[in-house]
Copies of this chain bind each other. A is one copy, B any other.
Amino acid sequence: MEHEKRVPINNSLIAALPQKDRRHFLAGCEKVKLVLSEVIGEPGEALRHIYFPTDSFISLVRPIQGHTGLEVALVGNEGMHGISVVLGIDSSYSHVLVQGEGLAMRMDVASFRRELRLSQALQQLLNRYIYVRLCQLEQTAACTRFHVVEERLARWLLMTHDRAFSDELHITHEFLAFILGVRRVGITRAAGSLQKRNLISYRRGIITVLDRRGLEAASCNCYRADRTTYDDILGEKLQNMTICEDDMHTTSNQDIFKPRSSGPERAH
């Protein structure tokens, strides 16, 4: 049940803050463990906390009348949950589900609002992150319209692999179907095809990434597009980032999510 984590890690957004702002910010955070399949938000509910995953990750699933729903964002250590608060609203229209068990920093909404007022750097950084999310959402909308299930599945596995720091992803076909807005049978077929091509292997509730490069080839280029977007918009900000020396796991700069880096592959 326990993942074997490859790299303990910090949250990239927090890490990108100037040291002084970050110290202050972290002082207002608490570290929480997110449990697999935990629900930390429902449509209509007001947000109570802002989450900055470190080695956990969560997905936002938009419900839609008479259908299963569709994932509209996947948030790991490269991002945050609660962008609406940055924009002055604390409502949510989505289910918020823990996809990957692990730790996150979180802050209650009121404190977060205060931090935002205090730190221009935080404001600017999160504004950019919001723009990234907007672009990625546009990408997802188009992707969902045009690309076949197998490509979309490959894309999702890659995105998740980036955030999981493990080759083993804990998820069932049933749930993947929910996320991608297709039938379970559709996932079984697509996953079977990817397995036959030796890109992944799976057994009851666990999918193992075997060949990252192969998966990239099998996915639509929306995966690449998303990373490029992230890098284009947040790249320069993340350049300046420093290492958090708080009480969290220590980590080196390389470990932090850096899109389009030509760094070492995580698979194998």
Q: Which residues of A line the B interface, CB within 8 A?
A: 62, 64-67, 69-70, 72, 83-84, 86-89, 91, 93-94, 124, 127-128, 130-131, 133-135, 137-146, 181, 220-222, 225, 229, 232-233
Task: Contact check, B181 vs A128: say whether CB atoms are below 8 A apart.
Answer: no
Task: Contact check, B62 vs A142: say whether CB atoms are below 8 A apart.
Answer: yes
Task: Contact check, A127 vs B88: say whether CB atoms are below 8 A apart.
Answer: yes
Task: Contact check, A137 vs B134: say whether CB atoms are below 8 A apart.
Answer: yes
Copies in the complex: 2
A146 to B70, CA, bound (A): 9
The listed residue (B124, B140, B225, B233) touching A141 by CB distance below 8 A is B140
Contacts of A87 in B (CB 8 A): 127-128, 130-131, 134
Q: Considering only CB atoms, which chain B residue lies closest to A89 in the complex?
A: B131
Q: A67-B146, A130-B130 are in contact. Are A141 and B88 (CB under 8 A)?
A: no
A144 to B130, CA, bound (A): 22
The listed residue (B84, B91, B127, B137) touching A137 by CB distance below 8 A is B137
Task: Contact check, B146 vs A137: say whether CB atoms are below 8 A apart.
Answer: no
Task: Contact check, A72 vs B128: say whether CB atoms are below 8 A apart.
Answer: no
The listed residue (B64, B131, B142) touching A142 by CB distance below 8 A is B64
Task: Contact check, A124 vs B93: say whether CB atoms are below 8 A apart.
Answer: no
Task: Contact check, B131 vs A64: say whether CB atoms are below 8 A apart.
Answer: no
A135 to B89, CA, bound (A): 12
Q: Considering only CB atoms, which chain B residue lies closest to A181 in the complex?
A: B145
The listed residue (B93, B124, B139, B144) touching A145 by CB distance below 8 A is B144
A144 to B138, CA, bound (A): 12
Task: Contact check, A65 vs B221: say whether CB atoms are below 8 A apart.
Answer: yes
Q: A87-B128, A130-B87, A145-B70 are in contact. Are A93 and B62 (CB under 8 A)?
A: no
Q: Considering only CB atoms, which chain B residue lies closest to A225 in the complex?
A: B65
14 residue pairs bridging A and B, Cβ less than 8 Å apart: A62-B141, A64-B222, A65-B220, A65-B225, A67-B142, A67-B146, A72-B142, A84-B131, A89-B128, A91-B232, A93-B138, A133-B134, A142-B181, A145-B181
Task: Contact check, A93 vs B181: say whether CB atoms are below 8 A apart.
Answer: no
Task: Contact check, A141 vs B137: say whether CB atoms are below 8 A apart.
Answer: yes
Contacts of A225 in B (CB 8 A): 65
